[in-house]
Amino acid sequence: MIPISDENRGIRHHAWVNWSLIAINILVFLYELTLDQHELDRFVTRWGVVPRLVAHGHHLETLITCAFLHGGWLHIGGNMLFLWVFGDNIEDIMGHVQYLVFYLLCAVCAGLLQVFVDSSSTNPLVGASGAIAGVLAAYLVLFPKGKIRTLLLIGIPLIILLPAWIVIGIWIILQFISGVASLGVDTANTSGVAYFAHIGGFIAGAILVFVFRDRETHQQHVAARADNQAWSRFRLGSGQEAR
């Protein structure tokens, strides 16, 4: 299942932070493409999370910088697609600054859990997946029944509407299953996926959303999606249009 869009009714502001995060990730990835293999290895080792180093209190800044590095086209493409689909809603509900802080905190928590689980590893951890997992958790908490336009690849490609609790719920269940299965297994034998980073980011997002959300804005979003009289009154009073 590949989410390609969601119901955006109720969004009132441009998602400047979300767009900026996507742009920065893309720019960093393009820079990675200019490096030869030796330079790339040094770059990733310096700015990615090396669990053994972080566990000993070194290069703690990489808990944030690693979220802007990616290991290939599919890696960055999938991450940016998920961020594009879900991030704008969360930014609108939290506000620009709060959303940025929320996103970075989820990235840090994601890295910390992976370090805790695999503290002896010297393989660099890179990718925005942990931070984005936090965004997914926030979306699931705020809009469990939100309609997600989803691409199903089952022989013939199909696009259907599914509730968020199915799309995101299946994704996080797979992360937990894969994470447990990967315990004690060398990273090279798990396709290099840091499943516990995804889990850490998701748990952080599910908790932090209650700290960073704006309740009134959330209620307006919910009303807009339900297309009820409360939202109609809000639109007439503010001159805002849902999209």
* Model pLDDT for residues 30-82, shown as the tens digit of each residue: 999 999 999 999 999 999 999 999 999 999 999 999 999 999 999 999 999 99
Task: Look at residue 135 and tell me if it is in a domain.
Answer: yes
Domain that residue 129 falls in? 7-141+163-238
Task: Look at residue 151 and tell me if it is in a domain.
Answer: no
Contact 130, 103 (CB under 8 A): no
Task: Look at residue 34 and tell me if it is in a domain.
Answer: yes
- Predicted TM-score (pTM) of the model is 0.87
- Position 6 scores a pLDDT of 87
Task: Look at residue 243 and tell me if it is in a domain.
Answer: no
For the chain, what is the domain count?
1
* Model pLDDT for residues 82-127, shown as the tens digit of each residue: 999 999 999 999 999 999 999 999 999 999 999 999 899 999 999 9
Percent of the chain clearing pLDDT 70 (strictly above): 88
* Model pLDDT for residues 157-216, shown as the tens digit of each residue: 888 889 999 999 998 988 888 877 767 555 444 446 788 999 999 999 999 999 999 999
Task: Look at residue 58 and tell me if it is in a domain.
Answer: yes
Task: Look at residue 196 and tell me if it is in a domain.
Answer: yes
**At 184, which CATH number?**
1.20.1540.10
Characterize 139-174 residue by residue with b for buried, 16 or more Cβ atoms within 10 angstroms of its Cβ, and e for exposed: bbbbbeebbbbbeeeeeeeeeeebbbeebbeebbee
Task: Look at residue 77 and tell me if it is in a domain.
Answer: yes
Rounded Cα gap, residues 103 and 91, in angstroms:
10
* Model pLDDT for residues 209-220, shown as the tens digit of each residue: 999 999 998 988
Report the SS3 class of residue 154: strand
Task: Look at residue 192 and tell me if it is in a domain.
Answer: yes
pLDDT at 146 over 70: yes
